[in-house]
Structure 1
């Protein structure tokens, strides 16, 4: 092998360098099945984003290939998704009219900004951002988004015009437009809704009952939206319901592959789009990593969050390059991809190639596709995202998390996507600071005959007269430093015989400048009253920083490796 050949092989993705022939059949099958599922979703989600249907198709080719080259998941299916589509519409609605050239250009630039941000995060190895948004906040955001999306699609099911805007505006508009409902459109939309709901709940069970394997039955049930699209399109074309009953249809979808090109955003556009792009990036990344990890665990595989950032970033950049809009990993498609036997991202490459064929030669088949049916597929898809189970569990286990979930969901529904998620993040951080500002602190004593120490309020333990041993179960920082001081003062008032205060730091990972100042002042105050301040079980990194401070110098000989050492009369001194 020449050096040049070796260099080329080394640049290939790991899965491609070690590809096995036995995987090919599964990848080809999964690629075909996901394509059948992706076609109606791409069309529907593009319309949800306020874009022409072909834009959804454009966003389903190159992004898949880019992710396959750089991503770490073997089965994540990247492309248009409901939540990112809603966030795109929410970001662009105040800036341009949906369906216009300007609106489409802004969508491209939003995808570009999102992609660049993700690539920068990946280059800086910021994969830990996957854990920046708590599960309750993500659950609340997706739940609220699902409600907003479903309500926004009702006008298409009814065949009426209703204003886009806040949830209240949508409800009022639907109420006023209800008498103008298009009966034929309602029949198509409602019929599709019923079919899709029944298929989702019962079709797999019925297929298994007639002898179909469970795996095949599950996949066929998930392909029900494509069946609804094909049948409804045929009915509208046969009866010419677009003419005779004014049923709204997709109409002409331009045939041919997208033209590659890119227009960089100006400073004004950057100012308008940077925050939506950041939120789309974070939400899409967290959602994708969650899906990828859940599937990887089933095969004992690992996900690299930093590589996910690079893969999703590249996917969004090339989506912009090909006239698409922001994309991310889709839950339903990824599950189908996994169940259909995909072993590697080659399944995605196959899907992208098939989508290219559809765009190049088959878009004429979508002319009579009714908007009502696309709306029905969206409604059924997003209603399943409403997460009451997490809310129920959080309410029983941690009310603060449950309130964060509800506040995020209600914020999205009543005030919009961006405000809702920012509210959720702010509440999560607020709860974190609130909890940290009230750390658990326990007076401890020794379990008889051992070197173990437990809370005197919970266990029968031994104490040393004149010694107050207080364990702090939290790092000390600006929000809780005075709480420690107040607790010690309360305990001293309750026991005037105390002459030694021992702070057990086994759970203290950091002491910030504010906490250091409080400890310093407290040590001086205690010293003036004839009481010594001592520390035990201080972690190495904390002690390293503490030694160079005036407090560290004053505590020489009063820092103990263990609480047991401090409990020995006279106390054993330890040097650092």
Structure 2
């Protein structure tokens, strides 16, 4: 593949596009479009924006991702967690419903897009690996609980606010007496129906003899049925006059051309929230894309995903949208509906554009309680409390990180929660590498294998100490290694040689090099030689640019067995069976 085609994946899959692929993509686009109309409206309201912003954010961004993205089935648009983060960030600089609020959302989308695109050009997709899955799962779980709790006020038909769970619950308690019975009936009914659609509608249709394909389409269209039924109910019975809050007038037409506000004061406030949205959005998107790609034995390019998501967010900022990313639910639906290429996303954008042109007048009497029900049912699928049980059983350190992320997000809000999550991910990495596993090893009799003396019956020599280092050496763990070695050799007068087995050492930074030099001087002062074995080529190349090897009191051995033979004079007989570690 040429570098140009790599930057524009459409040049790759577009060459083999066929009539059969077109049919599959069109069917998937139809199903996803039906799903996205109510979902886009709901997520725009969740972000504190007019409902049409959700549709606008699902048109040009999808097309741009189809041009630049590497996933064949990822569906880009507003998602629950990013919409919540948008509301939290923009709410700091403007009041919801004002022109300044909408302009700030555009600026947030542009900043996020520029950051993602720049990261893609710099090939920084690997940075997503620094966010541990347990911490991200904890954050998304907490965000799902926050989103669902925040929508309860629309189900009840009461006023309320709050960015944290205590604030939300306190507001609901204060206004519970203002509950509108009609709104509650609509909201609770829509919620129950949508839960039934997810679990029971398809089996019920199949039991009635409905073809599987038709049952799938009708199940995916469940939210549309809820929207249509409740809208007709409110219109037909005049329930808006009885206090049922409706969406109201939704502008009819294609997305407008908009210009983000780039005033320095606004940009400086939104810079950090944009970075956090970029990180969380990218991690969520690439996780979904990798999962779906693996099902089809395909691959995605994280760096290209950064470019695709960056272009999508930039497009959203100039077409009246809000920050977007790849959504789990819509992407799974897109894949299950048979999408073969990103062209399905482009066809979805066309469908949404037609909806914006022709269907928006029909949404005037759509109850906000129905959209709240759509959000609640969608986000509760993100809540994964099993992660607490799993991490408790596997690693107390991971459990503490997950629990802390959940509690901080619920108690202090989304931005603080994601910041803590990022910090905890980095801290976990440092904790896991700052005290590397170092095993004292000996020779397995009859073989050339070396294993931990505390786990296997091995041969050792009283004058030789062999330590296998199971981690790369860098500034955070070098001193730990030095202290551990000095503690081990103290009080052992028979030792004459120490061998560091470096088979698992992928790199040695300058701080670690200085520590090794200091260790060598300490050992030399005690009459002990320092040797290395099984040093990897890239590590050896780096060491040869220094004078460390010239000052080394011992030798560098190609294998640990060579070192054992040379330093002890012993030679083991080969074994007929390999030894399992």
Q: TM-score scaled by structure 2? A: 0.93
In 2, the alpha carbon distance for the partners of 1:144 and 1:224 equals 26
Cα distance, 1:146 vs structure 2:
0.4
Is the Cα–Cα contact under 8 Å of residues 160 and 168 in structure 2 kept in the other structure? yes
Map of 2:128 onto structure 1: 130
**Alpha-carbon distance change, 46 to 340 in structure 1, aligned in 2, over 3 angstroms:** same
Cα distance, 1:205 vs structure 2:
1.9
Give the 5 Å matches for 1:81-480.
Answer: 81-214=79-212, 216-243=214-241, 245-480=242-477
Of the structure 1 ranges 214-223 and 63-72, higher mean CA displacement relative to structure 2 is found in 214-223
Map of 2:549 onto structure 1: 552
For the residue of structure 1 that corresponds to 2:248, the secondary structure is: coil
For the residue of structure 2 that corresponds to 1:13, the secondary structure is: helix
**Alpha-carbon distance change, 467 to 12 in structure 1, aligned in 2, over 3 angstroms:** closer
Is the Cα–Cα contact under 8 Å of residues 257 and 360 in structure 1 kept in the other structure? yes
Is the Cα–Cα contact under 8 Å of residues 130 and 426 in structure 2 kept in the other structure? no
Map of 2:514 onto structure 1: 517
RMSD of aligned residue pairs (Cα, Å): 1.9
In 2, the alpha carbon distance for the partners of 1:166 and 1:557 equals 61
Residues 364-399 of structure 1: CA distance to partner in whole angstroms, max 9, x if unpaired? 100110001110110010011001233332222222
Cα distance, 1:279 vs structure 2:
1.3
Is the Cα–Cα contact under 8 Å of residues 62 and 322 in structure 1 kept in the other structure? yes
Cα distance, 1:306 vs structure 2:
1.9
In 2, the alpha carbon distance for the partners of 1:280 and 1:400 equals 26
For the residue of structure 1 that corresponds to 2:321, the secondary structure is: coil
Cα distance, 1:465 vs structure 2:
3.0
For the residue of structure 2 that corresponds to 1:207, the secondary structure is: helix
In 1, the alpha carbon distance for the partners of 2:261 and 2:244 equals 39
Q: Which runs of 4+ in 1 moved over 6 A?
A: none
In 2, the alpha carbon distance for the partners of 1:543 and 1:297 equals 36
For the residue of structure 2 that corresponds to 1:450, the secondary structure is: coil
Is the Cα–Cα contact under 8 Å of residues 520 and 553 in structure 2 kept in the other structure? no
Cα distance, 1:65 vs structure 2:
1.0
In 1, the alpha carbon distance for the partners of 2:230 and 2:108 equals 33
Is the Cα–Cα contact under 8 Å of residues 401 and 428 in structure 1 kept in the other structure? no
**Alpha-carbon distance change, 14 to 519 in structure 1, aligned in 2, over 3 angstroms:** closer
Is the Cα–Cα contact under 8 Å of residues 464 and 567 in structure 2 kept in the other structure? no
Specify which of 17, 22, 25 is matched with residue 24 of structure 1. Answer: 22
Of the structure 1 ranges 562-571 and 267-276, higher mean CA displacement relative to structure 2 is found in 562-571
Cα distance, 1:261 vs structure 2:
3.2
Specify which of 492, 497, 502 is matched with residue 499 of structure 2. Answer: 502
Cα distance, 1:510 vs structure 2:
2.1
Cα distance, 1:485 vs structure 2:
2.3
Q: TM-score scaled by structure 1? A: 0.94
In 2, the alpha carbon distance for the partners of 1:442 and 1:75 equals 46
**Alpha-carbon distance change, 329 to 361 in structure 1, aligned in 2, over 3 angstroms:** same
In 1, the alpha carbon distance for the partners of 2:396 and 2:220 equals 35
Cα distance, 1:15 vs structure 2:
2.3
**Alpha-carbon distance change, 570 to 175 in structure 1, aligned in 2, over 3 angstroms:** closer
Cα distance, 1:219 vs structure 2:
4.1
In 1, the alpha carbon distance for the partners of 2:462 and 2:96 equals 76
Cα distance, 1:44 vs structure 2:
0.6
In 2, the alpha carbon distance for the partners of 1:17 and 1:225 equals 36
Is the Cα–Cα contact under 8 Å of residues 61 and 316 in structure 2 kept in the other structure? yes
For the residue of structure 2 that corresponds to 1:468, the secondary structure is: strand
In 1, the alpha carbon distance for the partners of 2:140 and 2:246 equals 29
In 2, the alpha carbon distance for the partners of 1:568 and 1:278 equals 55
Is the Cα–Cα contact under 8 Å of residues 219 and 336 in structure 1 kept in the other structure? no
Cα distance, 1:231 vs structure 2:
0.3
Is the Cα–Cα contact under 8 Å of residues 9 and 68 in structure 2 kept in the other structure? no
Specify which of 534, 537, 547 is matched with residue 534 of structure 2. Answer: 537
In 2, the alpha carbon distance for the partners of 1:18 and 1:435 equals 46
For the residue of structure 2 that corresponds to 1:533, the secondary structure is: strand
In 2, the alpha carbon distance for the partners of 1:323 and 1:516 equals 54
Cα distance, 1:214 vs structure 2:
4.5
Unaligned stretches of 5+ residues in structure 1: 1-6
**Alpha-carbon distance change, 505 to 123 in structure 1, aligned in 2, over 3 angstroms:** same
